Chain A
Amino acid sequence: MSDRLAVRKTYKLFIGGAFPRSESGRSYPVHDAKGRFVANASQASRKDARDAVSAARKAFGGWSGRTAYNRGQILYRVAEMLEGRRDQFADELRRAGASKQAAAAEVDAAVDRWVWYAGWADKLSAVAGASNPVSGPFFNFSTPEPAGVVAVVAPDSPLLGLVSVVAPVIVSGNTCVVVASEPAPLPAVTLAEVLATSDLPGGVVNLLTGRRAEIAPWLASHMDVNGIDLTGAAAEHVRGLEEEAAGNLKRVLRPGKDAWPDDPGTARMTAFLETKTVWHPVGV
């Protein structure tokens, strides 16, 4: 009996529901915690970022137009698929340096956090919205609406960190372009495979792997991006990215506040909401 040939996985980008290689054709080596070569990951270029933003914009109308309840169902479905791939994620986390126990605990925490955010889909408008008392014959109410396309610079924690920044952005109806952890991008690509097979419409989450310092400025300055989460940006780049984000008054979530390892609150979700207030005449 002969040994089977290894079936190696090619790690690619996730744009508009498809898995393309970088248009630049570049890739970069990913190493494990001991410095051994694991795989090549695609190194996204600014044009991949541009394509990802158009895909996210295209998906925004459909995703934000779904009922909150339906979005919650789909995100819960994602959690089910995550659960089914626990071992694969745990393996990948161990290769990135976690102990067996720590890896299993992180996968559990990631699934739990995803479910926690999924539950918020149909509760957010009750908490972040209001019925306002006004002096006049009007019924006045404020409802939260998604900001639009949000760029996310994910932190280095390859799974829990990624889940903690992506789930709160999309639960309210935003679509996003995520720059995955630079040193450990492989679990992000596996997460993309989960998203691709779990009823999440293509383009709602777009995932880029590569150099943050190269891609993030293009997303920060992009006029068709409505918000940017700088959680994973290097401290020395944050100021520059914020300045570029000011070009079209993007909503900016700075790193540090509402740190993702903490128990989550609503802050990450409300950071990318806009409030619509309606004055409706009564008694007319």
Chain B
Amino acid sequence: METLNGAGGLRAFLRGLPGVDQVGAEERAARLATRSVKTTAKAEAIDLAISMVDLTTLEGADTAGKVRALCAKAAHPDPADAAVPRVAAVCVYSDMVDVAVRSLAGTDVKVASVATAFPSGRAPLEAKLVDTRAAVAAGAAEIDMVIDRGAFLAGDYSKVFEEITAVKEACGEAHLKVILETGELVTLDNVRRASWLAMRAGADFIKTSTGKVSPAATLPVTLVMLEAVRDYRAATDRQVGVKPAGGIRTTKDAIRYLVLVNETAGPDWLSPEWFRLGASSLLNDLLMQRRKLATGVYSGPDYFTLD
């Protein structure tokens, strides 16, 4: 792949990306959503989806107690059934990272922290870097940063690029997930450009949304991002993960995303290492469906924890 020559080179590269066939992407996503996944395949898909969940609480009203409860749930999603896999990670605000790290000590569940003036991203770069370093110092294994959508939409791609590079450096060992906030990017062409921009700037994961903007994750947007990571690996041999987040509430939704991953990026991405689902209420629905498959009778929300 050609190297980028300064701001002009970056712009030329991003503008040179082929346009997305929007109607085609929407139709393909809708077609794949009709795939029927039942019985044993469904059971496998549910367990895979549970293991891919980034269990998230990003509210102004978050307390240490709530984060601890969420961590307990992350490690043992269904206390009555030890066969249920743990989730991939717990995703919290940066000031809650130490609480989460202590609660999850001894488990394989990772702690992810949003940073860089989440969810708007409107803060000076220094503040974003301090935010990031604080989260990493507190023990976050993964950092979810937001891009500066204002700069991106104004065409100032190099500013976005440099911010991502700087945050990546501040992350050190921690994995960097770059939130594109596709609900504010307007077009699928922009989603493709932002995906490539983030990957070339060093993102380990590209993530659809903060969950604070509607529309959040949608199938067509995720399809475009999965195509981007597939093409990026073909060009550079570096694999980047994808994380749709926001608005994924039902098992049916989750399974649709898994089908999309398998059919677009390929089975290499079907693991928590390369694909995550950012969600909170999704987990209970997955557990309810899992119990329905195990016991043969419909379950109810009374039998699972409130979050």
Can you pick out 24 interface pairs between chain A and chain B where the beta carbons lie within 8 Å of each other?
A50-B298, A53-B298, A57-B300, A57-B301, A218-B297, A218-B298, A221-B296, A221-B297, A221-B298, A222-B297, A223-B297, A223-B298, A223-B299, A223-B300, A223-B302, A223-B303, A224-B298, A224-B299, A224-B300, A224-B301, A224-B302, A225-B300, A244-B297, A247-B297
Q: State A50–B298 Cα separation when bound (angstroms).
A: 8
Encoded as 1 (CB less than 8 Å from any B CB) or 0, chain A from 154 to 170 comes to 00000000000000000
Mask: chain A, 222-254; 1 = CB below 8 Å from B; 0 = not: 111100000000000000000010010000000
Residues of A within 8 A of B (CB): 50, 53, 57, 218, 221-225, 244, 247
List A contacts of B299 (CB < 8 A): 223-224
**Complex Cα spacing A223 to B298, Å:** 6
> Which residue of B298, B301, B303 has the most chain A CB atoms within 10 A of its CB atom?
B298
Residues of A within 8 A of B300 (CB): 57, 222-225
What chain A residues lie within 8 Å of B296 (beta carbons)? 221
How many B residues, CB 8 Å from partner?
A: 8
Contact with A along B276-307 (1 / 0, CB 8 A): 00000000000000000000111111110000
* A244 to B297 alpha-carbon distance, docked (Å): 9
- In whole angstroms, how far apart are the Cα atoms of A247 and B302 in the complex? 14
Residues of B within 8 A of A247 (CB): 297
Q: CA separation between A245 and B261, bound complex, in Å? A: 40
A119 to B302, CA, bound (A): 32
CB distance from A197 to the nearest CB of B (A): 30
- In Å, the complex CA distance between A50 and B299 comes to 10
Residue of A nearest to B297 (CB): A221
Could you tell me the distance between the alpha carbons of A221 and B296 in the complex, rounded to whole angstroms?
Answer: 9
A104 to chain B minimum Cβ distance, whole angstroms, is 41
- Of all chain A residues, the one with the shortest Cβ separation from B296 is A221
* A218 (CB) vs chain B CBs: closest residue: B298
Q: How far is the CA of A224 from the CA of B302 in the complex (A)?
A: 7
Q: For residue A57, which residues in chain B have a CB less than 8 angstroms away from its CB?
A: 300-301
Q: Residues of A contacting B303 with CB < 8 Å? A: 223
A57 to B300, CA, bound (A): 10
Name the residue on B nearest A222 (C-beta): B298
Contacts of B298 in A (CB 8 A): 50, 53, 218, 221-224
B162 nearest CB across to chain A (Å): 48
A70 to B158, CA, bound (A): 62
Q: Give the CA-CA distance A224 to B299 in the complex, in Å.
A: 6
Task: Give the distance to chain B from A252, nearest Cβ to Cβ, in Å.
Answer: 16
